[in-house]
Structure 1
Amino acid sequence: MKVRPLTASALVSELLSRISALPGRARVIIDGAPAAAPGSLADALVEPLRALGRPVIRVSAADFLRPASVRLEHGRTDPHSYRHDWFDFGALRREVLESGDKVLPTLWNAETDRASRAEYVPFPDNGVVLLDGTLLLDQWLPAELTVHLHLSPAALARRTSPDLQWTLPAYDDYAPTPDVLIRYDHPTRPGWVVSD
């Protein structure tokens, strides 16, 4: 296994090339711990894809949380619940990734603990759904391209904010097999992992 060093802008360009080559409707998952900020990378792809004529729908798994009564059933700092009970993977599959020609961009408002009441948006034939989130790649979510921003255990611990340190055990046995694996200990110097 080799790692090809990139700059942050080169990473965006490489992913842009991969995504723009996908035919028809494309579902792309950018996965990583909150410390890796997968949403920032997904956001950086939006305008360049639109400039290439690919309509983009941005979706975040953070807007598909389960109600607090479910996700906090075992307390506010339970790593097992965080891994398995916090996100509504069924709704992501049903309303975003397998929803045909329309997508629900948000489902749940965590601040109010109520439905977001979002409207469906059209998913054009050449559109791209960019979904970001954490712990997504062992849930059998359908996608044309999956990207994982990998942090070493030391970098994950160092870069995780104090209020989320309790989530670290949720990543102990998380070993996704994405289409694209990026070493992301240093976001300004990412490394594209290339299989031998």
Structure 2
Amino acid sequence: MPLSPAALADRLAELIAAVPAEPGAAALRVAVDGPELPGAPGATGPLTVAQALTERLPALSRPAVVVPAEGFYRPASLRLEHGRTDPDARYSDWLDAGALAREVLDRCGPRGTGEYLPALWDLDRDRAARLPHRPAPAGGVLLVPGSLLQGLGLAFDVVVHLRVSPAARRRRVPEDRTWELPAFDRYDDEVDPTALADAVVLADHADRPALVLQNRWS
């Protein structure tokens, strides 16, 4: 049944708030995985959903922070080595998954230091962000919104996948980003992110998402 974006965020916040972090972990590590596409007001993109959750989780006794995966993209010299419109590079070369694990997910896990790095790389200036590590919210939730996050061995405790069908991606993607589409097609074929996720948001229509629960919540 379709929901409003606000009702979707309410339901996801309730589900996530009920999941405890692993014993000894500083925070529950949650991926919000999916393509960032333009849409109607309240659109269900990863960053939008993650920000909505941070507004709701504290009221459920779970403080939350957002650490966008884009802050762990590689420098332009590496990311764009094969050009600015290479879908294979978009699929495999943009995200420094090792740095995201080392500086965020592992540090907030059971044997970590209990702190995280907000960002490693400043994309706008294409230089190191030079930010200090911050303490994870005690008993809280660390949300990592981004694209193509599954299938990399990253230590997420919960995964929310925003499922946008190939047809809807082609309909909604801006013309200057159509070159990215083969990367998302490949992701669907090789990783099958819908099958791996704990919650799937059917987001073909940005203002009328639907929620499907599986794995942890099925």
TM-score bucket of the superposed structures, by smaller chain: over 0.9
The reply to whether residue 122 of structure 1 matches residue 141 of structure 2 is: no
Shift of 1:142: 1.0
2:57 alignment partner in structure 1: 49
Q: Choose between structure 1 and 2 for higher RCO, CA contacts under 8 A separated by at least 6 residues.
A: 1
Q: Describe how 1:8-157 pairs up with structure 2 within 5 A.
A: 8-24=5-21, 25-35=27-37, 37-99=45-107, 100=112, 101-157=114-170
Mapped contact 1:93–1:141 kept (Cα < 8 A)? yes
Deviation string 1:110-139 (CA, Å, 9 cap, x unpaired) is: 121111011111013302101000000121
Q: How far does residue 194 in structure 1 lie from its aligned partner after superposition? A: 4.6
Matched, 1:6 2:14: no
Q: Which residue of 2 aligns with 1:191?
A: 210
Aligned residue-pair number? 193
**CA–CA distance in structure 1, aligned partners of residues 142 and 52 of structure 2:** 14
Moved over 3 A (4+): none
Counterpart code for 2:150: L
Shift of 1:7: 2.3
SS at match of 1:34: coil
- Distance, in Å, in 2 between the alignment partners of 1:163 and 1:118 is 31
How far is 1:23 from its partner?
1.3
| SS in structure 2 of the partner of residue 173 of structure 1 | helix
The CA deviation at 1:5 is 2.8
Q: Measure, in 1, the Cα distance between the counterparts of 2:36 and 2:138.
A: 31
User: Structure 1 residue 37: deviation in Å?
Assistant: 1.9
Q: Distance in 2 between matches of 1:149 and 1:190?
A: 9
Indicate the residue corresponding to 2:200 in structure 1: 181
Distance 1:56 1:120 in 2: 16
For residues 124-175 of structure 1, the C-alpha deviation after alignment (integer angstroms, 9 at most, x for no partner) is 3302101000000121211111011111111101111222111000011212
Which has the higher mean CA deviation after the structures are superposed, 90-99 or 53-62?
A: 53-62
> 1:55, CA displacement in angstroms?
2.1
> Quick one: distance in 1 between partners of 2:59 and 2:212?
28
Counterparts of 2:61 and 2:135 in 1: how far apart (Å)? 15
* 1:151 and 1:183 in contact (8 A); partners too: yes
Q: Which has the higher strand share?
A: 1
Q: Tell me how far apart the structure 2 counterparts of residues 56 and 192 of structure 1 sit (CA, whole Å).
A: 21
User: 2:24 maps to what in 1?
Assistant: none
> Which is worse superposed, 73-82 or 167-176?
167-176
TM-score, reference length from structure 1: 0.93
- For the 8 Å contact 2:33–2:46, the answer to whether it is kept is yes
- Identical-residue share of aligned pairs (%): 46
**CA RMSD after TM alignment:** 1.5
Counterpart amino acid of residue 38 in structure 1: P
Q: Which amino acid aligns with 1:147?
A: V
